[in-house]
Structure 1
Amino acid sequence: MPSVRRLCHELLERQGLTTVFGNPGSNELPFLADLPDSFHYVLGLHEGAVVGMADGYAQATGRPALVNLHAASGSGNAMGALTNAVASRTPLVVVAGQQVRSAIGPEANLSNVDAPALMKPLVGWAAEPACAEDVPRALAQAVFEAELQRRPTYLSVPYDDWAADAGDNALAVLDRRVGRAGVPDAEQGRRLAEQVAAARRPALVLGGDIDSAGLFDEAVRLAERLGGPVWAAPSQFRLPFPNRHPLFRGVLPAGIAPVCEAFEGHDLVLVLGAPVFRYHEYLPGRYLPEGTRLIQVTEDASAAARAPMGEALVADPGAVIELLVELLDAPGEPAGAFRPVPEPATAEGPRLHPEQVFAALRDEMPEDTAYVVESTSTNSSWWRQMDLRHPGSYYFPAAGGLGFGLPGAVGVALGRPDRPVVGVVGDGSANYGITALWTAAQHRVPLTVVLLRNGTYGALRWFSGLLGVPDAPGLDIPGLDFTRVAEGYGVRSRHVGGVEELRAALAERPDHPRLIQVDTALTTPS
């Protein structure tokens, strides 16, 4: 009879979860014993970085990723990063160690008396098996729940369970497969097609799920047949549409009133693969203009249920796009040429304007580069200068929690070694995930990190004005030199001054991680 550990390793191998992101403690060592040679362990030096790397890796590969955390303390350290994974609907399978069963009740050190409750309501499913024989089945459920919900799951396992016999029925779990189909039925499809065809001025709003599901090019075909404007949904974490396409109007503002204003004059708003909507700034008003209807299509049943307006169809957006493209088989008017990029703004003094940095990235990096961006105060400069035309080109912290940028970039680079990867990170956010540089160095990941140093929390300065608190303390972070920090972690680094020096550095193609620090002028997100 195989042990629980051996059976679970085989289960994970069959499900393709052989890359393990972790930071182990004593409770986790029995799970990690005798890992098959096909497994690849990626060590992170802090649990927040571990989850951020796994998040980037899972998004880049389109497959669930396995995370191994240390009991309650390690799980707690990871929760900030987990919020981003939840908001981006990343399928992470988090397995945490627990004390031996007999020690949980007396609350021995490193025990967690109610382990599943710790991670709720963040994760889509959390459990601790009632007995050792149930561990393989529960682990399979964690994998399938993550895939079906596209949301992290959490399983706490007492460490004495791994050596126990799996039991006579446990082998049945190895051959399990769980699938999902979300094609609208005939009546739903007919009704949706009629509503879209009857619209005089339709508008399209696309969410990050479009890029996550590999529907980037399909969304372009649909938009060009509809012929109306296209927005990315507010609080965007992936780019679902080429940002310089003539139909693209940018990312919707994350406030109720400005979203309503954007939809003025449109009789139908079709939202694909996004919640309705993830507002941020409190700017109250009407949800929709008078006479505007909204239809949401999403696989996320919770997002459909909680929307405050419109009608929703819980279905595969890909199937709906295919249905509508067939209906609108006439190609429509030519979309026209992509919009040109404006000349980058410049700054007074020795610092570069962020637009100059982004123009250099656009010109010097290959056009299929994947960018992991966590420089929130430069958001408007980013979209003014970049020209992104490929799927999987943009990743952003989905919940706004800092610390995704550096680890996420490492994870994306590990998941997509066939593409150049650049992390664009501000000096404020870099500190939250700085230990990911060590992992990049250890795995010799060919990652470029462009660190924009302005000496302050730029986005917070903007919010302080928006909220009427200009005298708030704690907004400046002087005295940081990330070249010295990165060198300490084993990453080659340099501090560049002018635009030409930056462009020359970006034109190099090293086979190892590097960090380029550039001093930039303070800008606002919008």
Structure 2
Amino acid sequence: MPEELALRWQAARRCASEGVQLAGVPRSGRTARSIQGLMLADSAPWGVVYLSVPLDDWNEPAEDGALGLLLERAVDGAPVVPQRALDLLVGALDRASAPALVLGPGADTEEGFQAAVALAERARLPVWIAPSPPRAPFPTRHRCYQGQLPSAAGAVADILAQYDVVVCFGAPLFRYHAPSDQDFLQPGVSVYAVTDDPDEAARAPFGRICVGDPSDALVRVAATAAASDRPWPPARTLPEADTSGPPFTAEAILDAIDAGKSDDTVIALEWTSADMVRDRLTITRPKSLFYPAAGGLGWGLPAAIGLRLGCPERPVVALIGDGAMQYTTSGLWSAVRYRVPVTFVVCTNTTYRALQAFSEILHVPEGDYLDISGLGVLDIARGYGLDVHRAESLEDLTHYVRKGMTATGPRLVEILQR
């Protein structure tokens, strides 16, 4: 393997938690196609590239001509928002009487995370996270943090109605999951947004959209926006969790996990019952929470393994529902085989709650087809060779998660959810 190719593999691995892009590799490509995928990973905005390689492709030599040209290839320039477009955004923000900041996954980088905090503090902005967020791009205990926007158009419009200017970085406008007959925005609200996805810009039903790197734009806006002496946003307090049980509430389980994890912990979340209360978890640094953007089940278990492999210096905790676990249980074999130290927390409620909620909305006749009791979560995991445990108390769960911060192999704990 040429030294340059090895360096690009390392660059791609360093970018492992920045996002996912897809690069199909045709049969005729050979190793040169793989280098193209790695170059894509190393291009702004940086991100993982999935290489689809035919099984026998690695046994064939790369085309010398194509390989040589690729290794000599160079690109100048970066997809950034023009300054005149950002000037319009900053001007609207400076003139606003009640502005707000909305963040999405595109802002969850080292630079974007820090710039979002700087902008929020400089302009004293209330900060919301865009609906159905696959990341956590702002510290959840910051004085400006207001929470996660709901996933229905009318509900989002109701919250944003208290502001006159809303600036959004790194999120579509907006991703809705629940049906709504209400308008997208109420009168008097202006929205400015920065996205690195031209398709998202084309789909947006409102707003003035800039296409470019959201983190780069955040850094530039934070440096030029006017400082404000307006009152700080209202303090956000978390409601007290009901800690009785077992079984336990989602809020109590999240609090117990939060007490056991470290600030460096990366969370792979595929526990839909906890979606709207996920920010009970303390997030203090970027790239600390990952959630399937499209909402499809089966992502969380293998994603947790990949996150730990891609970022071995940070502990990983996977929060998974008992139903979601069943889609990709074979990933546990890989975790055991390669001794990937992930702590899997499986929250068992014996019901397919996501579909249960939608069956009510869609008026599906009642039945027992969403009952998934008797799965034997611990038996399944034990069969793959994991160390397993059932937490009988919240303190027990906290202790188990805390021990996982220094574990050397995969482990799984089950806790019953109300």
User: Structure 1 residues 283 and 169 mapped into 2: Cα distance closer, same or farther (>3 Å)?
Assistant: closer
Q: Do 2:297 and 2:324's aligned partners in 1 also have CA atoms closer than 8 Å? A: yes
Deviation at 1:469? 2.2
Per-residue Cα deviation, 1:325-356 (whole angstroms, up to 9, x for no partner):
22235364685897554432135x63122222
Q: Which residue is 2:6 aligned to? A: 13
Query: How many residue pairs are counted as aligned between the two chains?
Result: 414
Q: Are 1:479 and 2:374 counterparts? A: yes
Give the corresponding residue for 1:297. Answer: 194
- The structure having more radius of gyration, on CA atoms, is 1
CA distance in 1, matches of 2:21, 2:230: 39
Distance 2:276 2:55 in 1: 48
CA–CA separation in structure 2 for the residues paired with 1:224 and 1:452: 37
1:505-516, aligned counterparts within 5 Å? 505-508=400-403, 509-516=406-413
Other structure's SS at 1:297 match? strand
1:181-217 CA-partner distances (Å, limit 9, x unpaired): 2334343233232222111211111011111464112
Asked whether 1:358 is paired with 2:254, we answer: yes
State the one-letter code of the partner of 2:258: R
8 Å CA contact 2:148–2:276 kept in 1: the answer is no
Q: Is the 8 A contact 2:106 2:215 kept in 1?
A: no
Residue 182 of structure 1 is matched in structure 2 by: 79
Alignment match, 2:383: 488
Matched residue, 1:166: 63
Shift of 1:419: 1.6
Contact 1:136 1:173 in 2 (8 A): no
Structure 1 residue 285: Cα displacement:
1.6
- Equivalent position of 2:363 in the other structure: 468
Contact 1:142 1:155 in 2 (8 A): no
Amino acid in structure 2 at the alignment position of 1:453: T
What TM-score comes out, normalization by structure 1 length? 0.71
Name the SS of the counterpart of 2:136 in structure 1: coil
Asked if structure 1 preserves the Cα contact closer than 8 Å seen for 2:30 and 2:57, the reply is no
| 2:94 counterpart letter in structure 1 | A
What does residue 324 of structure 2 align with? 429
Distance (Å, rounded) in 2 between the aligned partners of 1:515 and 1:161: 35
Counterpart CA distance in 2 for 1:513 and 1:338 is: 39
TM-score using structure 2 length: 0.88
How many angstroms apart in 2 are the aligned matches of 1:182 and 1:339?
36
C-alpha separation between the residues in 2 aligned to 1:495 and 1:200?
52
Partner of 1:22: none
2:251 and 2:277 in contact (8 A); partners too? yes
Distance 1:388 1:138, change over 3 A: closer
- Does 1:367 find its partner at 2:234? no
Query: CA–CA distance in 2 between the matches of 1:59 and 1:400?
Result: 20
Report the CA distance between 1:295 and its aligned residue.
Answer: 1.0
Secondary structure of 1:432's partner?
A: helix
> CA–CA distance in 2 between the matches of 1:229 and 1:411?
34
Mapping of residues 29-40 of structure 1, within 5 Å: none
Q: Which of the numbers 339, 342, 367 marks the counterpart of 1:444?
A: 339
Tell me which residue corresponds to 2:392. Answer: 497
Is the counterpart of residue 217 in structure 1 residue 114 in structure 2? yes
> What letter matches 1:357 in structure 2?
I
* Residue in 2 that maps onto 1:325: 222
Residue of structure 1 in register with 2:278 after alignment = 382
Asked if 1:90 is matched to 2:20, the reply is yes
Q: CA deviation at 1:157?
A: 5.4
Match of 1:455 among 350, 358, 366: 350
Percent identity, aligned pairs only, is 34
The 8 Å contact of residues 496 and 517 in structure 1, kept in 2 or not, is answered as yes
Instruction: Return the alpha-carbon distance in structure 2 between the equivalents of residues 205 and 18 of structure 1.
Output: 30
Q: In the alignment, is residue 243 of structure 1 matched against residue 140 of structure 2?
A: yes
Cα distance in 2, alignment partners of residues 174 and 453 from structure 1 = 51
Q: CA offset at residue 446 of structure 1?
A: 1.9
Match of 1:232 in 2: 129
Q: Distance in 2 between matches of 1:519 and 1:160?
A: 46
Change over 3 Å in CA distance of 1:328–1:498 after alignment to 2:
same
CA distance in 1, matches of 2:383, 2:354: 28
In the alignment, structure 1 residue 397 sits paired with structure 2 residue 397? no
RMSD: 2.9
C-alpha separation in 1, matches of 2:339 and 2:413: 16
Where does residue 243 of structure 2 map in the other structure?
346
- For 1:502, the aligned partner's letter is L
1:314 equivalent in structure 2: 211
Q: Is the aligned partner of 1:194 residue 2:91?
A: yes
Equivalent position of 1:83 in the other structure: none
The alpha carbon displacement at 1:249 in A equals: 1.9
Unaligned runs of 5+ in 1: 1-5, 20-53, 63-88, 96-127, 522-526
Deviates more, 1:459-468 or 1:446-455: 459-468
> Does the 8 Å CA contact 1:254/1:279 hold for their aligned counterparts?
yes
Instruction: Report the CA distance between 1:400 and its aligned residue.
Output: 0.5
CA distance in 1, matches of 2:63, 2:401: 53
Contact 1:245 1:339 in 2 (8 A): no
2:263 is equivalent to residue 263 of structure 1: no
- TM-superposed deviation, 1:423: 0.5
Q: What SS does structure 2 have at the residue aligned with 1:231?
A: strand
- The C-alpha deviation readout for 1:154-202, integer Å capped at 9, x for no partner, is 6565947953672545412123234542334343233232222111211
